Amino acid sequence: MRICRAAGPLVLVLVLALASCAGGAAPTPGPDAPAGPSSSPVVQVPPDGLLLGAFGFSSGPLRSFSLPRSTRLTVAVDQPDNVTAVLSSPPAADVAVYLRGALPDAGYTVTADTGEATLTFRGNGWTGSFTGAGDSSAVVLRPV
């Protein structure tokens, strides 16, 4: 258990380092990017969730990706080619349970589900990953 708690912050540092390494020309944002009026519908968000924009993001799958309503962000990267949210609450296992339920209903396919709190997924023009340990977790979203 002590290893997991010590590894949590290390995993988050690695996620942030990878997220900040985006180089070259920015890819065209996916269909959920805020590029004016869109015909893409807003998905049904679980009662205990909020869409990404409610957390202050202006990039990313704003109309289809949600996080638990009780999310507390410690770091936010808000770029058209990289959206990263580092969470200090709720616990990583709870966020994983939320995402397992919310992603399929929002048009995402979970492509890997390993461990208590590690997922990868794709849909709505975006790929994503989630990982965490203890009270720390992170979501990284990139346009396809």
- Radius of gyration (Cα) for the chain, nearest Å? 14
DSSP state of 52: G
Q: What is the dihedral of CA 102, 106, 109, 114, to 10 degrees?
A: -20
pLDDT of residue 116: 86
With beta carbons less than 8 A apart as the criterion, state whether 86 and 74 touch: yes
**DSSP string of 72-123, one letter each residue:** EEEEEEEETTEEEEEEEES-HHHHHHHHHHHHHHTT-EEEEE-STTEEEEEE
The phi, psi pair for 30, rounded to 5°, reads -70, 180
Domain boundaries, the chain: 2-20+51-143
The phi, psi pair for 111, rounded to 5°, reads -95, -20
pLDDT > 70 fraction of the chain, expressed in percent and rounded: 71
pLDDT of residue 43: 80
The phi, psi pair for 113, rounded to 5°, reads -140, 95
pLDDT of residue 75: 96
Q: Residue 106's closest CA among 51, 59, 29, 37?
A: 51
pLDDT tens digits along 17-51: 444 444 333 333 444 444 433 334 568 899 999 99
pLDDT tens digits along 70-82: 999 999 999 999 9
pLDDT higher than threshold 80 for residue 112 = yes
Q: Residue 90's closest CA among 141, 60, 132?
A: 132
pLDDT of residue 35: 40
Higher pLDDT, 1 or 44: 44
Average pLDDT over residues 79-91: 97
